[in-house]
Amino acid sequence: MSTPLQYCDIQRIMSMLPHRYPFLLLDRVISCEPGKSVHAYKNVTINEPFFQGHFPGLPVMPGVLILEALAQAGGIMVCARTLVEGADADEFRNKLFLFTGIEKVRFRRPVYPGDRLELHCQLTAQKLKLWKMTAHACVDDVVVAQADLAAAITDKEGL
């Protein structure tokens, strides 16, 4: 049985994911049932570098970055399961969690500076190194984006 992670701060997130500024798109993990589900968030601020060009005068978070934030949350869920199963953090540093597919994507409304983007992923299938999940992002309890994501754990060497 997996042990839930609660209130995973930015330092712990950075120990689990290889992403760094400006591409680390998680601020906190609220809860994570390793290998089952994750709830995290990203505080969206006007200081995000993508707002300079998307769009001048009407800053809107790019949809692909919302998907990336969801994938990073999913990566935390997978990494947490790997760590619970006995792998150490050093072993995971030589791996990457890469998108292999994105399906059923829907963007429901724009995300603006000042929004708190709530990220939810639920595992739907896992076989060998392939993970499938359903994901959605909310602002103020309103779904702003949703998708089915697939990703694989791969060795950094050989890419």
Write down the domain spans for the chain.
Answer: 5-155
| Amino acid in the structure at residue 68 | E
pLDDT category at 1 given cuts 50, 70, 90 is: very low
Q: What is the 3-state secondary structure (H, E, C) of 90-116?
A: HHHCCEEEEEEEEEEEEECCCCCCCCE
At residue 86, the pLDDT reads 60
Averaged pLDDT of the chain: 91
Does residue 41 carry a pLDDT above 90?
yes
Which residues are designated catalytic?
Answer: 54
At residue 80, the pLDDT reads 86
- Other CB atoms within a 10 A radius of the CB of residue 53 amount to 9
- The CATH fold assigned to 5-155 is Thiol Ester Dehydrase; Chain A (3.10.129)
More confident site: 158 or 107? 107
At residue 85, the pLDDT reads 63
C-alpha span between 27 and 24 (Å, rounded): 8
Rounded to 5 degrees, what angle do the CA atoms 47, 120, 1 make? 130
At residue 155, the pLDDT reads 87
At residue 79, the pLDDT reads 86
Among 48-52, 60-64, 82-86, 106-110, which is the least confidently predicted range? 82-86
Q: Which long-range contacts (CB under 8 A, 24 or more apart) does 139-143 make?
A: 139/109, 139/111, 139/115, 140/115, 140/116, 142/108, 142/109, 143/108
Predicted confidence (pLDDT) per residue in 110-143, tens digit = 999 999 999 999 999 999 989 999 999 999 999 9
Q: What is the pTM of this model?
A: 0.92
